[in-house]
Amino acid sequence: MGDYNIDEQYKDLLETILRHGVEKEDRTGIGTKSIFGYTIRWDMSQGYPLLTTKKVAYKSMITELRWFLKGRTDLRWLLQNNCHIWTGDAYSSYVRTHQWELDDDYYKDVKDFEKRILEDDDFSQVWGNLGFIYGKQWRDFGGLKRMGEERPGVDQIADLIKNIKENPDSRRLMVNAWNASELIYMKLPPCHYGFQIYTSELTLEQRKEVFCNRLGKSLHFADKLEHEDLDKDEVPRRKISLMWNQRSVDTFLGLPFNIASYALLLKLIAIEVNMVPDQLIGNLGDCHLYLNHIEQANELLEREPYMLPEIDLINVDILNGEFGYALLDYHSHPAIKAPLNN
């Protein structure tokens, strides 16, 4: 299944939901068609899995991942970096208590809200704090700073990197965002609630292939090389895979972000621990299409995929959420607009 184009896997999921999904009510009031239980698997050697059947706003996806890795939960930082994908969750809380002050123009109200987040420190602290969401759980699980009390939490990302380096065959290489005791402090409970890492040794031939690909040489160039020779050039000895688990899958808007984000996270971790990215696996729970996304899904199903892009990463500092990137040869169909249901 690893060479099964990621766009085709995505289209198959859309078709499955459209054909076999059951209609359900949901918290947004829009309603969905949904199925339960689906797996996506991607071989990272086949390209970076950024959908081509519609243009994905990859810059926002990358900004969000940096935000998670930094352990941040503030809307202001996202807005300062031109990322608006969490505005709706913060704004919906504000609306519930200030609806009487708002105009009838939703988009004007949202813009005014974002402006106040950026300019008013007190307002930003109250309404721009998204609570104990992903970044808090990834970098400070169980930590508490409140009313003079301070309790250090667990930096799961730092521990993960350390444990991969020290015990790469461990079955405990996991990060968990679902903290049941802190759900009440989150603007939105985590949809993708955890991921696990798996590593295994590369054969000598696989290492030679990595070495030759790095140099742009044919495999004959490395015929006489042994493991010790490859070690001198810091050629990775292991490959690394990532599996994420997701309880709730907004299939049209959210899932393309999730796939690309975890693929990027896998590549970042691989660089940090000097391993080769291998398999990306997504275990998906409630896979749904909102009823106001059905038309858009059918439009996408008519499109044929392009070749996948590659992404080059430099200056990776995963513990500070910093890295440079270049997305290469991304050709896609136009974006398909769909309502964001909060």
C-alpha distances out from residue 243 to 4, 39, 158, 330, Å: 17, 10, 18, 25
Its pTM stands at 0.94
- Compute the distance between CA of residue 284 and CA of residue 279 in angstroms, rounded to an integer: 16
Check residue 83 and give its pLDDT: 97
pLDDT over 90 at 147, yes or no = no
| Residue 162 DSSP SS3 | helix
122: confidence class by pLDDT, cuts 50, 70, 90: very high
Is residue 11 within 8 Å of 299, Cβ to Cβ? no
Instruction: Tell me the CATH number of domain 1-71+156-202+237-342, given options 3.30.572.10, 3.40.50.720, 3.30.565.10, 3.40.50.2300.
Output: 3.30.572.10
152: confidence class by pLDDT, cuts 50, 70, 90: confident
Check residue 1 and give its pLDDT: 38
pLDDT over 50 at 2, yes or no = no
Q: For the chain, report the end-to-end CA distance as a whole number of angstroms.
A: 34
Share of the chain above pLDDT 70, in %: 95
pLDDT over 60 at 338, yes or no = yes
The domain segmentation of the chain, as residue ranges, is 1-71+156-202+237-342
Check residue 342 and give its pLDDT: 78
Is residue 51 within 8 Å of 330, Cβ to Cβ? no
**DSSP annotation string for 269-286:** HHHHHT-EEEEEEEEEEE
Check residue 92 and give its pLDDT: 85
pLDDT digits (tens, 9 = 90+) for 21-73: 999 999 889 999 999 999 999 999 999 999 999 999 999 999 999 999 999 99
Instruction: Reply yes or no on whether 83 is catalytic.
Output: no
- Compute the distance between CA of residue 54 and CA of residue 50 in angstroms, rounded to an integer: 9
pLDDT digits (tens, 9 = 90+) for 314-324: 999 999 999 99
Check residue 308 and give its pLDDT: 97
pLDDT digits (tens, 9 = 90+) for 166-209: 999 999 999 999 999 999 999 999 999 999 999 999 999 999 99
Spatial CB neighbours of 8, under 8 Å, sequence gap ≥ 6: 305
- Compute the distance between CA of residue 308 and CA of residue 156 in angstroms, rounded to an integer: 31
Check residue 167 and give its pLDDT: 98
Is residue 235 within 8 Å of 202, Cβ to Cβ? no
Check residue 280 and give its pLDDT: 98
